[in-house]
């Protein structure tokens, strides 16, 4: 089975307001149900992670989930009831695995559509590579934060993950961006943009040699 687990590396010199804006669309657009969604954010250093979390938490809490026909909605329902349950199971598992749940979207109910396949946005911090929820694709409105101590640790996370569709790095340092793009073992690389690819064609994890659902 293929899948995707696209990472966004956030360096200490990144514009965190820009990063936050980009992640809200990249992580939660289409309810996270797209192969090129950013599902894992890797801030480099605790200082960067804490500053980013201070910006992300209120934004995720304020997500407007609604009808797909409502232009003000961030996203609509998930594709099926069965898939909604699958995403809920992954969120439950993340809690059991010891990830820090910062925003819990499980209790969301859409007024007038209480039986719909809606789910609020969820945000996890301190996710680690040994967790099943990190290793597997969730394919829903769930954003995971996996902190890295330094550039090399951040580089290793997407490079060694079983899925290698795409990755992004946010930095103002041109040397860091070029080194990352040259060394990371992922098919497509975005520099200060969350979507390495805008067209839905990927073969063998976009050239990384690892599985892909796209």
* Catalytic residue set: 35
For 34, the token pair is 């797209």
For 165, the token pair is 């569709």
Using left for φ > 0, alpha for ψ between -120 and 50, and beta otherwise, residue 125 falls in beta
Q: Please tell me the distance from the alpha carbon of residue 195 to that of residue 8, in angstroms, as a whole number.
A: 10
Q: In what order do the strands lie in the sheet with 142-145?
A: 100-103, 122-125, 142-145, 38-43, 6-10, 166-170, 188-191
How do strand 100-103 and strand 122-125 relate by DSSP bridges? antiparallel
Q: Please tell me the distance from the alpha carbon of residue 73 to that of residue 85, in angstroms, as a whole number.
A: 22
For 15, the token pair is 């514009």
Using left for φ > 0, alpha for ψ between -120 and 50, and beta otherwise, residue 98 falls in left
Contact criterion met (CB below 8 Å) for 27 and 39: yes
């Amino acid at each position: 089975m293929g899948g995707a687990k696209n990472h966004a590396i956030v360096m200490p010199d990144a514009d965190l307001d820009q990063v936050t804006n980009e992640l809200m669309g990249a992580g939660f657009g289409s309810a996270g149900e797209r192969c090129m969604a950013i599902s894992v954010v890797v801030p480099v250093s605790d200082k960067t992670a804490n500053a980013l979390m201070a910006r992300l938490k209120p934004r995720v809490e304020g997500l407007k989930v609604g009808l797909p026909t409502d232009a003000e909605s961030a996203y609509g329902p998930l594709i099926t009831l069965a898939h909604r349950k699958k995403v809920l199971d992954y969120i439950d598992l993340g809690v059991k695995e010891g990830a820090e749940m910062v925003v819990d979207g499980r209790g969301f109910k859409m007024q007038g559509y209480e039986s719909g396949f809606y789910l609020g946005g969820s945000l996890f911090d301190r996710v680690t590579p040994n967790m099943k929820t990190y290793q597997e694709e969730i394919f829903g409105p769930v954003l995971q934060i996996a902190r890295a101590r330094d550039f090399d640790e951040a580089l290793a996370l997407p490079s060694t993950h079983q899925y290698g569709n795409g990755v992004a790095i946010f930095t103002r340092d041109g040397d860091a961006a070029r080194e990352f793009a040259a060394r990371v073992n992922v098919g497509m690389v975005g520099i200060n943009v969350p979507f390495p690819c805008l067209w839905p064609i990927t073969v063998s994890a976009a050239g990384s040699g690892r599985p892909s659902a796209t």
